Amino acid sequence: MIPSAVGLAAPCKFVSIEAELRANGISVEDQFLPAVQVRGLADCAQLRRVRGEFTAARVGAERGLRRREEIRGDNICWIGAPLYPAEQALLDELEGLRLELNRAALLGLFDLELHYAWYPPGAGYARHVDQPRGRLQRQVSLVLYLNQDWQPAAGGELRIFDARGGQRDVEPIAGRMVCFLTPGREHAVLPTQRERLSISGWFRARQS
């Protein structure tokens, strides 16, 4: 992890995300990254696809993992070393967010797991939660969208459900960051009509 800079105030966007998470359990931050960084990350994803690093996402637990496109149709690539410069810059940015969430909200977040998610036309992800059964480390879910010139007719919205039966749809617009408290939060990706690219992951706490 990258050490915090002593005496420096957190960027306003980190403060805003923390405040929204504490108030509502969900934060939507547009232009979390400037357009040039978003394009750089999309280029990194394309390079990794060319190198054959994406694999079909599976559902289930451990030995029961299997591909079921009627539930989840995306392909993923975990972000790990060796990193491209744009990826390292993103990790540096998210480390600042982690530190702010720990400082202001006392969430005890320890590390981050992160992957690209590429959805071909027609693919989606059925309603689910991000905490596998019996594994409680994931505490804050995050999604950063890399889709240029997204139009509402393309679908692919993130649908977030609440405990009262309501729902909120979020379009996957380039540069938009969605964060929500992971425990118990049901959500889905609606079927997309064009290729859809994002970076998804979780801030994790130590296993208690």
User: 191-208, pLDDT tens digit by residue?
Assistant: 999 999 999 999 999 875
Predicted local distance difference test score (pLDDT) of residue 9:
74
Q: Does the pLDDT value for residue 3 go beyond 70?
A: no
Residue 69: per-residue pLDDT:
87
The pLDDT > 70 percentage for the chain reads 94
The answer to whether the beta carbons of residues 167 and 114 sit under 8 Å apart is: no
What pLDDT is recorded for position 57? 95
DSSP strands (E only) in the chain: 26-29, 55-56, 75-78, 109-119, 125-128, 138-145, 158-161, 167-170, 177-181, 187-189, 196-205
In this predicted model, what pLDDT tens digit does every residue of 27-47 receive, in sequence order? Answer: 999 999 999 999 999 999 999
Question: pLDDT-based confidence at 131, cuts 50/70/90?
Answer: confident
Mean pLDDT score of the chain: 93
Residue 11 CA to chain centroid, in angstroms?
20
- Entry pTM: 0.92
| pLDDT given for residue 44 in this prediction | 98
Sequence-ordered list of residues with C-beta below 8 angstroms from that of 144, at least 6 positions apart, any chain: 32, 33, 41, 90, 175, 176, 177, 198, 199, 200
In angstroms, rounded to a whole number, what is the distance separating the alpha carbons of residues 28 and 24?
Answer: 11
- According to CATH, the topology of domain 12-205 is Jelly Rolls (2.60.120)
* pLDDT at residue number 8: 61
Convert the pLDDT of each residue in 136-170 to its tens digit. Answer: 899 999 999 999 999 999 999 999 999 888 999 99
Query: Length of the chain, please?
Result: 208
Q: Above pLDDT 90, what percent of the chain?
A: 83
Judged against a pLDDT cut of 70, whether residue 80 lies above it is answered with yes
pLDDT the model gives residue 1: 36
pLDDT tens-place string over residues 99-125 = 999 999 999 999 999 999 999 999 999
Residue located via tokens 């540096």: 92
Q: What's the distance, CA 120 to chain centroid?
A: 18
Q: What are the extents of the domains in the chain?
A: 12-205
Closest CA to 188 of 57, 77, 72, 75: 72
Residue 208 has a pLDDT of 59
Please choose, from the candidates 196, 134, 191, 193, the residue with its C-alpha nearest in 3D space to the C-alpha of residue 159.
191
The Cα 157–Cα 115 span in angstroms is: 18
H-helix or E-strand spanning residue 166: none
